[in-house]
């Protein structure tokens, strides 16, 4: 006689988080001081704070965690021309977690797509730098994002188009971990696996927190690498703040040209700002006080 299925009444309450899984067995967490961040990573985070100071609001934690991943793509991996941003042979980067746009704006300004002084006008009425990146408005932005779950489908389309046109352009899409609760992400992953899009790399900013709290309590993702593998991807896990590790993995992508790649970047939300690290309340601030801004400057001094 088989056991009866559990009644819904036997399930744990929705506000009860499942037990945490063992942490990533990598170097992340071994040194969480800013001494572990090199001068370039600190500089880019200071540009983020410059924009926050100009706009008086923004997604702080969400913009600090992917800095190294975006930096390595633009420093060491992607082909692009700031003076010819629509060059047909360029690689494409899509920030699917569009709310983390300050990290992308900092890198684009640093690379000369637009003047760094434009960061001072972030989120102002007459600024081209809004709270989410807009294609056609921000030089260097390949897709308008912010409604979560759209970036990977766009990236799949770009990768397919490149194949049809005989171009060797690569496509990199950075997703948030909370974003992985969107069904459109997995529909796109199925399509990428089916078409064996080796030119496509999905990076997951796995900081374990979303706006409402821990990802493990809201929509558990583990086993995350196995999920991507099941959808036909070659999945790799890295310390998302280790520039050397990221460079090693991303310069080798695709390790298997017959499959898309998923790079799971284990990160810390708010990395670089000690009082914001690992705290969901710093996902976004609608109004930053002078004290908040002074604290951000001190943290990155």
pLDDT-derived band at 213 (thresholds 50, 70, 90) equals: confident
* pLDDT, mean over the chain: 89
pLDDT value at residue 282: 84
Q: Which domains does the chain have, with CATH numbers?
A: 36-299 (3.40.50.970)
> Residue 61: is the preceding peptide bond cis (ω within 30°)?
no
Give 79-88 pLDDT, tens digit per residue.
Answer: 999 999 999 9
Predicted confidence at residue 33, as pLDDT, reads: 63
Written in H, E and C, the secondary structure of 35-55 is HHCCHHHHHHHHHHHHHHHHH
Q: How confident is the model at residue 14 (pLDDT cuts 50, 70, 90)?
A: very low
CB 132 within 8 A of CB 101: yes
Task: Sort strands 209-210 and 213-214 into parallel, antiparallel or unpaired.
Answer: antiparallel
Give percent of the chain above pLDDT 70: 88
* Per-range mean pLDDT, top range of 54-63, 178-187, 209-218: 178-187
Rg of the Cα atoms in the chain: 19
Q: Which two tokens stand for residue 180?
A: 């992985």
User: In the predicted model, is pLDDT for residue 229 greater than 80?
Assistant: yes
162-181 CB burial, b ≥16 within 10 A, e <16: bbeeeeebbbbbbbbbbbbb
* pTM for the full predicted model: 0.89
Q: Are 91 and 169 in contact (CB under 8 A)?
A: yes
pLDDT at 28: 53
Spatial separation of the C-alpha atoms in residues 284 and 286, rounded to whole Å = 7
Residue 253: per-residue pLDDT: 87
- pLDDT tens-digit profile of 145-161? 999 999 999 999 999 99
The CA distance from 108 to 47, in Å, is 11
End-to-end Cα spacing for the chain? 67
The predicted-structure confidence for 188-198, as pLDDT tens digits, reads as follows 999 999 999 99
Beta bridge partners of 263: 203, 236
Integer Cα distance of 239 and 24 in angstroms: 8
Cβ pair 122, 134 in contact under 8 A: no
User: Would you say residue 1 has pLDDT above 80?
Assistant: no
Mean pLDDT, residues 119-130 taken together: 93
Residue with tokens 């109004």: 287
């Amino acid at each position: 006689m088989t056991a009866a299925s559990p009644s819904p009444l036997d399930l744990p309450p929705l506000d009860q988080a499942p037990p945490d899984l063992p942490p990533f067995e990598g170097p992340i967490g071994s040194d969480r001081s800013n001494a572990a961040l090199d001068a370039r990573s600190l500089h880019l985070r200071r540009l983020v704070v410059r924009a926050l100071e100009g706009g008086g609001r923004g997604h702080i934690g969400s913009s600090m965690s992917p800095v190294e991943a975006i930096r390595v793509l633009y420093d060491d991996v992607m082909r692009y021309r700031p003076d010819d941003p629509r060059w047909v042979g360029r690689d494409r980067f899509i920030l699917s977690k569009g709310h983390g746009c300050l990290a992308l704006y900092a890198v684009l300004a640093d690379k000369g797509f637009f003047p760094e002084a434009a960061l001072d006008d972030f989120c102002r009425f007459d600024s081209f730098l809004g709270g989410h990146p807009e294609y056609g408005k921000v030089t260097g932005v390949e897709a308008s994002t912010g409604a979560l779950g759209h970036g990977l489908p766009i990236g799949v389309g770009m990768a397919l188009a490149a194949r049809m046109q005989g171009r060797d352009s690569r496509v990199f899409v950075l997703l948030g971990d909370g974003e992985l609760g969107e069904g459109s992400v997995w529909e796109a992953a199925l399509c990428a696996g089916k078409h064996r899009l080796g030119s496509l790399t999905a990076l997951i900013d796995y900081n374990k927190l979303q706006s409402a709290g821990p990802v493990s309590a809201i929509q558990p993702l583990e086993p995350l690498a196995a999920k991507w593998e099941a959808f036909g991807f070659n999945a790799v896990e890295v310390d998302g703040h280790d520039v050397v590790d990221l460079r090693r993995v991303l310069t080798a992508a695709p390790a298997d040209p017959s499959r898309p790649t998923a790079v799971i970047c284990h990160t810390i939300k708010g990395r670089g700002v000690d009082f914001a690290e690992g705290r969901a309340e710093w996902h976004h601030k609608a109004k930053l006080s002078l004290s908040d801004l002074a604290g951000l400057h001190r943290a990155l001094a």
